[in-house]
Amino acid sequence: MIVMKFGGSSVESAAAIDRVASIVQARAGQHPVVVVSAMGKTTNRLLAIADEAVAGRKNEALTQLADLEQFHLREGGSVGGKVEAHFAELAELVKGLSILGELTPRSVDAISAYGERLSSLIVADAFRRKGIDAVHQDSRDYIITDDRHTLAAPLYPETYAHLEQRLAPRAQRQIAVMGGFIGSTKAGVTSTLGRGGSDFSAAIIGAGIKAAEIQIWTDVDGMLTCDPRILPGGHRVKVISFSEAAELAYFGAKVLHPSTVLPAVEKNIPVLILNSRRPEVEGTRIISGSAPSANPVKAIACKQNITTVHIRSMRMLGAHGFLRRIFEVFDHHQTPVDMVTTSEISVSLTIDNPQRLDAIVGELSKIAEITVERDQAIICLVGDKVAHTSGIAGRVFQSLNGTNIRMISQGASLLNLSFVVAGSDLSNAVKALHTEFFAELDPAVFERAQ
């Protein structure tokens, strides 16, 4: 058995779903379980409708809901009655929200879950019309979670038991189609796994049914050696380790979020990143072990719109407890820190969410001098040989001659070398680094861009 997960862009229309059906049909002999995201931008549209309702604009919310219903009816084939029934339930929810004037986490889950509930019904029907023996399965009957609505955590013993005992035998007989992102609490209340939850669902289901592999079908050819939004023309990475993929994802690569594939890592199940628009491309294979390469760097990741906070105080000299006081401030304001560098009297760090920055600076100013730099970018070179290959830092500095590097960090992870530059220098810096580290390619690990 395999798990095939298709993202929102892969099921955004009737034509896209038809492509997905052809892809699945070609792999029917592997007994796929198909996991789908909501169609296109449906989840965002549902949450916008909820916001309109709680703001007292019920009529506007219902108008937007009617537009969304027409979209699903137009693209949804022959399950119009079921689609209409779902939207009738949604209309009642919207009316209730307009009366309450409050959007609780439980209500957010109830509304946003409809995207995957609808798409999985529509996709299962499209498969049957194409001659595929498919059956719709409600993920809420299998993925059991705690009650932390909007970011629920799976209860693995119960979930794995349901998947192994009930889904796996069915998947041997028919192709099961399920919605990602959604589950239910022990009490049967709809819950969601948070953004990226469809990938997470695929990994959970794969682990539960002991799948041979988990395929994540998206709209890119796999992981590339650089972010195409920063520098087009990156080379496809054929194989990469889970650890390297996690570093890339944390530092800006959008193809896969590392936490979403943890169940696959624990069960040693390979994960493939594939393109539903170009199914002939082999994609990227993510494996639990190392992926040896003649190239010390596997890929370059970037994080834009970073804020750097420089904290300087003579009281740090020889004092203990000062770092603890600094990080307690960030913890108090629930603001994660990405990179940190220290000297005897100063600490520099980066954050990517400046929402509470003014309050943070206000508290820190009581114990130190604070300087803030906005519009910065983190560049991260990732590879399992980065820490053990001499001369990497020298090559970086030589290729970036003339670019001011604000911070540099190596050692916290043995897999990456990270540094901060001004946002305006990002594109040129990535281009220079890509030329430096990917002029020659190990053909076992990379496919050169055409």
Q: What is the pLDDT at residue 413?
A: 64
Task: Give the Cα separation of 143 and 24 in Å (integer).
Answer: 23
191 lies in the same domain as 339: no
Answer whether residue 61 is part of any domain: yes
Range of the domain at 385: 299-447
Answer whether residue 277 is part of any domain: no
Q: What is the pLDDT at residue 320?
A: 75
Residue with tokens 């994540």: 216
Q: What is the pLDDT at residue 315?
A: 74
211 lies in the same domain as 338: no
Q: What is the pLDDT at residue 252?
A: 64
Strand partners of residue 3: 33, 214
Domain endpoint, select from 167, 192, 219: 219
Question: What's the CATH code of the domain at 173?
Answer: 3.40.1160.10
Answer whether residue 229 is part of any domain: no
Task: Give the Cα separation of 369 and 313 in Å (integer).
Answer: 6
Max distance between CA atoms of the chain, in angstroms, equals 74
Quick one: average pLDDT of 80-97? 95
- Intra-chain end-to-end CA distance of the chain, in Å: 34
Angle at 125 between CA 119 and CA 126, to 5 degrees: 85
pTM here is: 0.86
Distances (CA, A) of 325 to 150, 212, 249, 425, 441: 31, 48, 29, 33, 46
Quick one: average pLDDT of 114-138? 97
Going by pLDDT thresholds of 50, 70 and 90, the confidence category of residue 79 is confident
Task: Give the Cα separation of 352 and 360 in Å (integer).
Answer: 14
Answer whether residue 83 is part of any domain: yes
Q: What is the pLDDT at residue 442?
A: 96
Going by pLDDT thresholds of 50, 70 and 90, the confidence category of residue 378 is very high
Q: Which residue intervals of 210-356 are DSSP H helices? A: 242-250, 262-266, 322-332
Answer whether residue 25 is part of any domain: yes
AA letter at 323: L
Domain endpoint, select from 164, 185, 219: 219
| Side-chain-facing half-sphere of 442: CA atoms under 13 Å | 17
199 lies in the same domain as 310: no
Going by pLDDT thresholds of 50, 70 and 90, the confidence category of residue 136 is very high
Answer whether residue 324 is part of any domain: yes
Residue 175 buriedness (CB in 10 A; 0-12 / 13-18 / 19+): buried
pLDDT greater than 70 at residue 36? yes
7 lies in the same domain as 119: yes
Q: What is the pLDDT at residue 68?
A: 97
201 lies in the same domain as 342: no
Q: What is the pLDDT at residue 412?
A: 60
Domain endpoint, select from 164, 184, 219: 219
Residues 33 and 178 sit within 8 Å (Cβ to Cβ): yes
Of the chain, the percentage scoring pLDDT greater than 70 comes to 97
β-pairing, 182-185 with 144-145?
parallel
Question: What's the CATH code of the domain at 373?
Answer: 3.30.2130.10
pLDDT greater than 70 at residue 318? no
Residue 424 buriedness (CB in 10 A; 0-12 / 13-18 / 19+): exposed
Going by pLDDT thresholds of 50, 70 and 90, the confidence category of residue 254 is low
Q: Residue 74: enclosing H or E segment and its boundaries? A: helix 58-75
439 lies in the same domain as 320: yes
196 lies in the same domain as 303: no
199 lies in the same domain as 307: no
- In 3D space, the residue among 209, 120, 127 whose CA is nearest the CA of residue 164 turns out to be 209
Answer whether residue 291 is part of any domain: no
Answer whether residue 440 is part of any domain: yes
Report how many domains make up the chain. Answer: 2
| Side-chain-facing half-sphere of 378: CA atoms under 13 Å | 29
Q: Which backbone phi and psi does 39 adopt, to 5 degrees?
A: -70, 120
Task: Give the Cα separation of 103 and 309 in Å (integer).
Answer: 34
212 lies in the same domain as 338: no
208 lies in the same domain as 312: no
**Which distant-in-sequence residues (6+ apart) come within 8 Å of 141 by Cβ?**
162, 166, 184
303 lies in the same domain as 201: no
67 lies in the same domain as 211: yes
